[in-house]
Structure 1
């Protein structure tokens, strides 16, 4: 067992806390959110639940391509050559997506909605096999064509562009829910949305929030990794979670924008970061980068575990930033 500990965990920050233990859950983004927290005695479960659900519902209302009336869906339907109104959170997430697109050489691209749909991982539903090459080539995509006007709160639709924020919005939702909890006095909490987690403060005993990283099926020989979340977030992507197989080949939901096809080779990526939004997005980028993932993570000081498929087995790489956290 390997244990990753944040460098800012001090005896003072890990002192035992008081408060009422709360465990709550609810639906969001096609998955669930789950909360484990210490709440002030005068704060009832209903207010806590409402705060988390409101944060999640806000993200869905702005960024879901599965909701026809979301702000993102309205942008995707907009006429060519128009500026489309967009709320501040959507602008911020698209802006972060474009920044990562530039840093990663397009390995992360928020404009792959049409490609995601063709491969059967979008709102249009599953497909029986790989799409026609001509349809893939014709699908509008390209992060450089997105124009943002943050002051005017609008995004330019060049024509047919389909934004897909599934590789970053869930992590942003975790951050929003965590911020809402902290603002209402729930300083010590572990919040999860569909496997993306953030831990603030500590448990009542003074221990940080420990979480175990999921290993890919068949990867039982890989050394387990446990992470102490204290002011940190963790996201894990896996090629087995949403995929289909045909012709003896697995096609994962993570699309490589450069090849317009599902990424190949990487079985799982785990990223630890102060921001769950960035942990989520970096997981996607590193999955797509494949053999280049280690160099990218080292260059940008990303704490990550990258598990690649090698024949019938696996090979894992621990980045220097993660290695520095291992106790």
Structure 2
């Protein structure tokens, strides 16, 4: 996934780290676009129209991604792999030529454990896979009868139970560099949090800052402005996907959608005068 992981575990049993690494290896083997023999890479190379059986984890994430695409009217799209490569954020050695297929996610069909591409689109789970991995590690820890832990993968976190001092797992959300915003401190108790930010992966082209967040509607990186979006959710996978969708949609449409779905979310905008913070009523109530 091109990132790191960490876990704080109360009274971890022997072999705990190996169990976590096995879960992550399984997910990478299914969902890494950088591994040519991964399940997602093989699916992306399969002939258009050909059905392919998918492993369980990949199928779970694909179905969740397609659901999120429907909820967000395509702002989150699990089939934008060609666009990710086009702008130099994927495994392709060099940025690809301009590419335009409207609503790529509508070109993916899933049926009884199989999927197929109906056009030359490719899957990319960079906006959801880390969250799924957090959930999968948490599930493995619970299977090992571990009740108290904090799991983090690339800035996406889930906390279960409590710390040895009977305190919850308190975490501070990272502030976007160069912006002054109030510290967002939350207690993760059977809860997950994910943040999407324009400062984590970007590149500069002709003096313009290009975010890794791609707007499927325009086929290009989102306009400069949204510095970060943070979402709290029972599922780290869905927190991850919602944060991506809201980032693409922006403060008006994105936060309105988050409010309609009763999400706990915060968005930070870059403006000429500094940071502007938006918060859904659900998050405001949690912090109050």
Structure 2 spans left out of the alignment, 5+ residues: none
Shift of 1:312: 4.6
Aligned partners of 2:196 and 2:244 also within 8 Å: yes
Gaps of 5+ in 1: 1-28
Give the equivalent residue in structure 2 for 1:19.
none
Aligned residue for 2:210?
251
Change beyond 3 A, Cα 1:116–1:174: same
Q: How does 1:188-267 map to 2 (within 5 A)?
A: 188-219=148-179, 221-264=180-223, 265-267=225-227
Where 1:136 maps in the other structure, the secondary structure is: coil
Post-superposition, which runs of at least 4 consecutive aligned residues in structure 1 deviate over 4 A? Answer: none
Indicate yes or no: 2:3 matched with 1:35. Answer: no
Which of 55, 66, 69 aligns to 1:98? It is 66
**Equivalent residue in structure 1 for 2:104, among 142, 154, 170:** 142
Q: Which range moved further: 157-166 or 290-299?
A: 157-166
CA distance in 2, matches of 1:173, 1:183: 15
Q: Does 1:179 align with 2:147?
A: no
CA-to-aligned-CA distance 1:44-93 (integer Å, 9 cap, x gap):
2xx10111111111111111111111110000000121001101111111
Query: Superposed, which structure 2 residues align to 1:22-171 within 5 Å?
Result: 29-39=1-11, 43-44=13-14, 47-125=15-93, 127=95, 135-137=98-100, 142-149=104-111, 151=112, 153-171=113-131
Q: Which residue of 2 aligns with 1:283?
A: 243
Give the corresponding residue for 1:11: none
- Contact persistence 1:307–1:315 (CA under 8 A): yes
Higher relative contact order (CA 8 A, sep 6+): 1
**Could you report, residue by residue, the CA deviation over 1:207-250 in whole angstroms, capped at 9, with x for unpaired residues?**
0001110111111x211111100000001111011111233321
> Secondary structure at the residue paired with 1:325?
helix
Question: Does the CA-based 8 Å contact 2:161-2:189 persist in structure 1?
Answer: yes
Q: Is the 8 A contact 1:112 1:257 kept in 2?
A: yes
Secondary structure at the counterpart of residue 287 of structure 2: coil
SS in structure 2 at match of 1:31: coil
State the distance in 1 between where 2:93 and 2:103 align: 19
Structure 1 pair 209/125, CA: closer, same or farther in 2 (3 Å)? Answer: farther
Q: Say how many residue pairs are matched.
A: 286
Q: Is contact 1:172-1:276 (8 Å) kept?
A: yes
TM-score w.r.t. the length of structure 2 is: 0.96
1:325 aligns with 2:271: no
Q: Normalising to structure 1: TM-score of the pair?
A: 0.84
Stretch deviating more after TM superposition (153-162 or 251-260): 153-162
Secondary structure of the structure 1 residue equivalent to 2:134: helix
- 1:178 is paired with a residue whose SS is helix
Tell me which structure has the larger Cα radius of gyration: 1
Shift of 1:141: 5.7
Q: Residue 255 of structure 2 aligns with which residue?
A: 294
